[in-house]
Chain A
Amino acid sequence: MNTSRIPLTAPTEASLQDIGSADILVGIPSYNNADTVGHVVQAVSVGLAKHFPGYRAVLVNSDGGSSDETTAIVARTTIDSQHFFISDHQSIMHRIVTPYHGIPGKGSAFRTIFEIARRLKARACAVVDADLRSISPEWIELLLRPIMAEGYDYVAPYYLRHKYDGTITNSLAYPLTRALYGQRIRQPIGGEFGFSGELAAHYLDQHVWESEVARFGIDIWMTTEAIAGGARVCQSFLGAKIHNPKDPSADLSAMLVQVMGALFALMEQHEGLWSRQGESQPVPLFGFPYEVGIEPVHVNVERMVTHYRQGLADLEPIWRQILASDTISRLRDLQGTTGTDCRIPDELWVQVVYDAATAYHQRIMPRDHLLKALTPLYLGRTASFVQATQGLTSKEAEHKIESLCRTFEHMKPYLVERWRPPTLQPVTPALLHHTIVVAGGDHE
């Protein structure tokens, strides 16, 4: 176990000396979020005061060098207890505002939060994004209560989203994670999570902090590592997630590289686990699910199909190296279709993903090239999904996603066969203490 300490700034060290220990820690990674971070800090403060009044709580803002007022707002934001019906009998909520060290990115911000949680021996932690507009105090309870009261180690968020919101999650991250690791976590790259102090220490001990995980692959890494480490996992219903739009210049292929790269790299790391994993199981869901009105999302299918067709015309020699010959010939068969009537069915999409994972594993070309070359295929698949779900409600579209997940699971032997397994590692969870998990039963 790696017990070496992560360097913190002198003021942070001094704060830790003053605070000593804590029961709960809530982390907010930030970078130029002056518009929204005040609201997030208020929601966290009210949430802690209302739902965990007797606990020693710490709010940690891990900032990436914001040039706006972000850190100042975090430091000075207060709440008016009376307006929120908060009891006067409160433990003091401590506040730490600190820059993080290491490679710039959300992962490095989380690393500092994990280190502070370890130093303070926090029992339960949560992290929430600083750009949230829809966060409410209840989110804090929903992310922390399963850990404090129910003995869970990891709480994934469950949001209500438009059927075309989060297409990478719907067509790739969720179905693949579910098929590989057997846990139906609907938002594995959600952004808000709850986790035990023990799991935070486990995260710190992993040697990933100089890799891409330290940049942007942290969400899927945390979820997968929790499952692979044998943590007890659950979900909490948080309602709709509304946040500031991502940087409009953010490149889709760069996003795909982050998510697919992290998924495939984790597949290599946990090969022994997923290659033996059978059917998936539902994951407990806390909270009170309800319907909310979701803003419509406008989609230009024609543009996506055009992109896909260009990929098929220009990138075919590269795809031939990545994909199996059967997959390529099925993709070529689609070339005859006209207009936007170009649909990549579930089976073919699953085949593409599994072929790509295998090619990534076998390093048939520079991995960056491989992942970026899949962008037109992803757009083709997204266009297919949009066409297949036009006129359907988000709930009905969810059935289509469920069907895709079943196809991923059904075709898993194809992946195992193509992956060329060397020596399989034992499945024994490396991290946590839990023995057999029985619903409603005790656990260590």
Chain B
Amino acid sequence: MNEFIDQALLKPLQLLGHQLLTVLPNVLAMGIILLGGLFTAWASGFFVERLLRVIGFDHLCDRLGMNAALLRGGVKTDPSRLVGRGIYWTVTVLASIAALGALNLAPINQFAQSLLAYVPHLVTATVILLAGYFLSNFTSRAVLIAAVNAGLTPARLIATGSRWGIQVLAGAMALEQLGIAQHIVVVGFGITWGGIVLAGAIAFGLGATDLAKGFLERRLGGRPKTSAVDDLHHW
């Protein structure tokens, strides 16, 4: 009977206890890393948010038109808060991955490795999107002003086209970086962009022959504009 109790009950319990004792430091380490990570996430998020507020980041974003863009997208949180929360969640995710790694279990380790390997792509894609956003805003404003000053009636259309062109390009580059439907994105973008350019060229060639002819004559022939209807001296 005693032998049965030893074999059937105590042994498994001993094994379980032994296994628990082996895993316990890892679990403890996981808990400490998780708690430390959460605290670091909260602290870094809090301090970055405060710092950004102090240096007038919200004001800068307002000037760059980001606040308006966020509002258009239904986001009412100010940019400092957004960056703070972004840092909080980034650190939290990284800490969670590190904490899971502390368990030293093969499938979890593999998952953590692949997740960590994906982070640089994620960061690059974010940078591309942000750069594309700023560049599109800057370019579309420059295009709008230049088109109005040149007296082009569809100035806003041209400016909007330039904005979306850059944003679509940035989006396609970001998706390619993330490895999402790489071929479809590249082919789709190529077809769309090529189509737009071809359509523009055909429309200009068919609908604005005289304009194109006049433009080329002025540029290549050096003839003055015939539409110069006044001789006002501004200087």
B191 an interface residue at 8 Å Cβ cutoff? no
Chain B: number of interface residues, binned into ranges: 20 to 34
Chain A nearest Cβ from B227, distance in angstroms: 9
Chain A nearest Cβ from B98, distance in angstroms: 42
Chain B nearest Cβ from A235, distance in angstroms: 18
- In the assembled complex, which residues on chain B have CB atoms less than 8 Å from the CB atom of A315? 144-145, 148
Q: How far is the CA of A428 from the CA of B228 in the complex (A)?
A: 49
A223 an interface residue at 8 Å Cβ cutoff? no
What number of residue pairs across chains A and B have CB atoms under 8 A from each other?
A: 78
Q: Kindly name the residue among A169, A251, A315, A375 whose own CB sees the greatest number of chain B CB atoms within 10 A.
A: A315
B54 an interface residue at 8 Å Cβ cutoff? no
Q: Which of B33-91 contact A (CB under 8 A)?
A: 63
- In the assembled complex, which residues on chain B have CB atoms less than 8 Å from the CB atom of A189? 235
Contact of B148 among A164, A259, A376 (CB under 8 A): A376
CB contact under 8 A between A303 and B229, given known A314-B144, A314-B156, A369-B141:
yes
Q: Which residue of A lies closest to B152 (CB)?
A: A310
- In the assembled complex, which residues on chain A have CB atoms less than 8 Å from the CB atom of B156? 314
Q: Is the CB of B230 within 8 A of A303?
A: yes
Chain A proximity mask over B129-158: 1 for CB below 8 Å, otherwise 0: 000000000100110111111010101100
Q: Is the CB of B63 within 8 A of A364?
A: yes
- In the assembled complex, which residues on chain B have CB atoms less than 8 Å from the CB atom of A256? 234
Q: How far is the CA of A321 from the CA of B153 in the complex (A)?
A: 22
Q: Which residue of A lies closest to B147 (CB)?
A: A314
Q: Is the CB of A252 within 8 A of B148?
A: no
Q: Kindly name the residue among A164, A303, A310, A314 whose own CB sees the greatest number of chain B CB atoms within 10 A.
A: A314
A8 an interface residue at 8 Å Cβ cutoff? no
Chain A nearest Cβ from B157, distance in angstroms: 10
Can you list 5 A-B pairs, Cβ within 8 angstroms, ordered by A?
A: A168-B234, A255-B235, A297-B233, A314-B147, A376-B149
Contact of B232 among A299, A310, A372, A373 (CB under 8 A): A299
CB contact under 8 A between A318 and B145, given known A167-B233, A168-B234, A303-B230:
yes
Q: Is the CB of A318 within 8 A of B144?
A: yes
Chain B proximity mask over A162-204: 1 for CB below 8 Å, otherwise 0: 0011111100000000000000000001000000000000000
Q: Kindly name the residue among B144, B224, B232 whose own CB sees the greatest number of chain A CB atoms within 10 A.
A: B232
Contact of B155 among A248, A255, A310, A321 (CB under 8 A): A310
Q: Is the CB of B232 within 8 A of A167?
A: yes
CB contact under 8 A between A166 and B235, given known A310-B153, A310-B155, A372-B146:
yes
CB contact under 8 A between A248 and B230, given known A369-B141, A376-B148:
no
Q: How far is the CA of A251 from the CA of B225 in the complex (A)?
A: 13
A366 an interface residue at 8 Å Cβ cutoff? yes
Q: Which residues of A contact B (CB under 8 A)?
A: 164-169, 189, 245-246, 248, 251-253, 255-256, 259, 297-300, 303, 306-307, 310-311, 314-315, 318, 321, 364-366, 369, 372-373, 375-376, 382
B231 an interface residue at 8 Å Cβ cutoff? yes
- In the assembled complex, which residues on chain A have CB atoms less than 8 Å from the CB atom of B148? 307, 310-311, 314-315, 375-376
Q: Kindly name the residue among B145, B146, B224, B229 whose own CB sees the greatest number of chain A CB atoms within 10 A.
A: B145
Q: How far is the CA of A246 from the CA of B225 in the complex (A)?
A: 15
Q: Is the CB of B231 within 8 A of A298?
A: yes
Q: Which residue of A lies closest to B68 (CB)?
A: A317
- In the assembled complex, which residues on chain A have CB atoms less than 8 Å from the CB atom of B147? 314
- In the assembled complex, which residues on chain A have CB atoms less than 8 Å from the CB atom of B224? 248
Q: How far is the CA of A47 from the CA of B231 in the complex (A)?
A: 32
Q: Which residue of B lies closest to A321 (CB)?
A: B63
Chain A proximity mask over B18-39: 1 for CB below 8 Å, otherwise 0: 0000000000000000000000
- In the assembled complex, which residues on chain B have CB atoms less than 8 Å from the CB atom of A164? 232-233
- In the assembled complex, which residues on chain A have CB atoms less than 8 Å from the CB atom of B149? 251-253, 372, 375-376
Contact of B231 among A297, A303, A318 (CB under 8 A): A297
Q: Which residue of B lies closest to A311 (CB)?
A: B148
- In the assembled complex, which residues on chain B have CB atoms less than 8 Å from the CB atom of A248? 224-225, 228
CB contact under 8 A between A297 and B232, given known A315-B148, A364-B63:
yes
Q: Is the CB of B230 within 8 A of A298?
A: yes
Contact of A365 among B63, B229, B232 (CB under 8 A): B63
Q: Is the CB of B145 within 8 A of A372?
A: yes
- In the assembled complex, which residues on chain A have CB atoms less than 8 Å from the CB atom of B233? 164-167, 245, 297
Q: How far is the CA of A382 from the CA of B234 in the complex (A)?
A: 9
- In the assembled complex, which residues on chain A have CB atoms less than 8 Å from the CB atom of B235? 166, 168-169, 189, 246, 255, 259
Q: Which residue of B lies closest to A168 (CB)?
A: B234
Chain B nearest Cβ from A422, distance in angstroms: 16
Q: How far is the CA of A4 from the CA of B195 in the complex (A)?
A: 59
- In the assembled complex, which residues on chain A have CB atoms less than 8 Å from the CB atom of B231? 297-298
CB contact under 8 A between A318 and B141, given known A166-B233, A299-B230:
yes
Q: Is the CB of B145 within 8 A of A369?
A: yes
When A and B form their complex, which 8 residue pairs have the shortest distance between CB atoms, in order from nearest? Answer: A300-B230, A300-B229, A165-B233, A253-B149, A375-B149, A299-B230, A372-B145, A168-B234
